Amino acid sequence: MATSTTIQTQCLGYTPIPVALLSAEEVPAVDLYRKDAESGRLRLYRAADVPMQPEDLQRLNESNTHWLYATDIDHEQMQRFIRRKLDLLIRDESLSLRDRFGRLNIVVEGLLTSAFETNDTDEVMKSASQISAMAVRLLCRDDMTAGDLISLLHHDYQTVTHSLNVSYMMVALARDLRLVGNDELPSVAVAGVLHDIGKLSVSDRILTKSDRLQRREQRVAQKHPALGFRRLGKRTDISFAQLMVVYQHHERTNGKGYPVSAVGDEIHPWARLCSVVNVFESLISNRPYRGRYSLAEAFSMMDQHLSDGLDQEMYQCWKQSIRKK
């Protein structure tokens, strides 16, 4: 599930540190490693007792090095550092909202990719919760519109990127609809991050196939809501609403969805919310077998037939929110 900020499996056993959060004035007092571009192996970049100079950070940025790494011995210390620096980034009014969200999105994509690659549900849940709380603080600003949001997102169709985009869109739409109070929006965001967690149990060969899936492969791919439900169903740190997003986001009100062909109000409101933005996000993002559609093309396709079985009030609200921009 590669993204623009992919952390490859060679880095298992190490905690990724976003270069965007480092400054010459404050660098964690741990050994930092850099990935070799040719071999993919990690090599010592800076020992814990060696100061970081401004020109060092400049060279890292110029070489498009977005991540350094610390051993997992220092994992908790690094997690605290990242959370604190992200908090400062979000509150930095000297940066534009666009710059702050752009930097935040790069970091959270990488952190979530790292969690997904472990295939450890505990790690995914912890990362989803941390990421969502931070993102909601920017998404709920009055100067952040749905149209602004779309222009800031990455659009490669990978599980992590798609999950984050759906999460952000769910928050924007839930807020516009006043579906929940602002205090519940982080929970909505977590649901969006987790909605495709069942794909961790589906072969990458199917998820990244460069042409359309055969019928047998479609049946395998369509198991992911049930697989996600099984993965999360016995946990105590997930709400019923969040679990229904995982299980029902491909259901349709007309009974033509899956996995159980639920109809109407049998589908949880949060799942209906996810269905709307899930279809939309899939259209405006690159897929393994086609390029992305424009916003006008996406809405045209949804108006013609792809919105059949979606909650129409939610769909119309989403369309209006995007067109305001």
Average pLDDT, rounded, for the chain: 89
Per-residue model confidence as pLDDT tens digits over 54-65: 999 999 989 988
Closest by Cα among 158, 83, 66 to 116: 158
More confident residue, 116 or 173: 173
The pLDDT of residue 9 is 39
Structure-derived torsion over alpha carbons of residues 206, 212, 216, 218, reported in degrees to the nearest 10: 70
What average pLDDT does the segment 98-123 reach? 84
* CATH architecture type of domain 92-323: Orthogonal Bundle (1.10)
Is 60 exceeded by the pLDDT of residue 8? no
User: What CA–CA distance (Å, rounded) separates 215 from 248?
Assistant: 21
* pLDDT band, residue 311 (cuts 50/70/90): very high
Q: Residue type at 275? A: S
User: What CA–CA distance (Å, rounded) separates 98 from 110?
Assistant: 19
Is 50 exceeded by the pLDDT of residue 96? yes
Is 80 exceeded by the pLDDT of residue 10? no
CA distances in angstroms from 38 to 1, 3, 42, 301, 305, listed in the order given: 20, 18, 11, 43, 47
* pLDDT band, residue 5 (cuts 50/70/90): very low
The pLDDT of residue 61 is 86
The pLDDT of residue 80 is 85
CA angle at 317 for the pair 320 and 191, rounded to the nearest 5°? 125
Per-residue model confidence as pLDDT tens digits over 166-213: 999 999 999 999 999 999 999 999 999 999 999 999 998 898 888 888
Q: Residue type at 39? A: S
Per-residue model confidence as pLDDT tens digits over 232-285: 999 999 999 999 999 999 999 999 999 999 999 999 999 999 999 999 999 999
Closest by Cα among 9, 6, 8, 11 to 71: 11
Q: Domain locations in the chain?
A: 1-74, 92-323
The pLDDT of residue 4 is 37
The pLDDT of residue 325 is 61
The pLDDT of residue 258 is 97
User: What CA–CA distance (Å, rounded) separates 266 from 256?
Assistant: 13
